[in-house]
Structure 1
């Protein structure tokens, strides 16, 4: 029975990968500019104006990310005399070597510089300078990419790197050797 479930999950995975690739290709056809090695393993929403989006090389975009190139609030505003011509449209540009984590929203008129990380569930309504990490709603500067890298290295997962060539062996090693260390609660300011 487990073999049947594995096959079923593999079929679903291949189907979702095909849908994601089709989504990117349709957006490129509509004018979205995409560099080399875009990684979108799950559904990403490029909005109704993908031609206003530019994505650099080596970019990872996680599931549930939404690009918002226009402001729907103007629909209501246009019903008020004197505001009939109110419209919001803007470009979004993502630099090279960036990671956008789960369920982020990126609004119009925003540029993300090279080597940036946007943390999960963030709403980005301002541009990110190169080599920065932003998190939150609204997304704010947290640290430089170098500071983030130093934090990661302090808690780095230690395992023989040659295991990365054999995922099954790596999974077994991590399962047996990953320590039971958990983050402590912090007091809010």
Structure 2
């Protein structure tokens, strides 16, 4: 009974933390379009005002938006500077921009100076940097084009799991998923 209570309390605290993190990023200037959905936890970094996310995007769990690169400190130190003097004083910064209708898979990392077009699927675990055109699927480290959005649709349209009732119990959903996989 006590374990169940603490488990519920933990889930509630995580949910509150996620909501507060998103709220803080928006208050600090992050732009988010209409009907965009955040699932799980995202890290918006220390300059969320350099992040813009379009409309109808779906951002899944453990996504990191990096708008600065402190790695420049390594060559500065090798040239004679010391870390306490340069830490937090020297950095490379850049925007991260997502177009409309972008799906971002779990554990994706965005690096500074990244612009993603519209109608893009980003595979889980990708590291995204630079200009990404519209209407493609990307993935990998570094992220590269896998296929067009049209090819992705054609490949998967006949294998969709369709859930007409979004209020299914866990057992009912489990049964539906397993039946779908056995087809």
Deviation at 1:115, TM superposition (A): 1.2
**Structure 1 residues 86 and 23: CA distance shift in structure 2, 3 A:** closer
Contact 2:70 2:90 in 1 (8 A): no
**Structure 1 residues 66 and 176: CA distance shift in structure 2, 3 A:** closer
Alignment TM-score, normalising by the size of structure 2: 0.82
**Structure 1 residues 178 and 47: CA distance shift in structure 2, 3 A:** same
SS in structure 1 opposite 2:94? coil
Whole-Å separation in 2 of the counterparts to 1:10 and 1:148: 39
Q: How many residues align?
A: 175
2:134 to 130, 149, 160: 130
Whole-Å separation in 2 of the counterparts to 1:136 and 1:176: 29
Query: Which gives a bigger RCO, structure 1 or 2 (Cα 8 Å, sep 6+)?
Result: 2
Q: State the Cα deviation string for residues 81-119 of structure 1 (Å, max 9, x = none).
A: 69x997411111011111111111111111111111110
Alignment TM-score, normalising by the size of structure 1: 0.80
Deviates more, 1:40-49 or 1:13-22: 13-22
2:180 to 171, 178, 181: 178
Deviation at 1:122, TM superposition (A): 0.5
Whole-Å separation in 2 of the counterparts to 1:24 and 1:175: 31
Unaligned runs of at least 5 residues, structure 1: 182-189
Whole-Å separation in 2 of the counterparts to 1:53 and 1:142: 25
Deviates more, 1:106-115 or 1:86-95: 86-95
2:109 maps to 105
Deviation at 1:172, TM superposition (A): 5.2
Q: Decide which structure has greater strand share.
A: 2
1:67 maps to 65
| Aligned residue runs from structure 1 range 154-173, under 5 A | 154-157=158-161, 161-162=163-164, 164-168=165-169, 170-171=172-173, 173=175
RMSD of aligned residue pairs (Cα, Å): 2.7
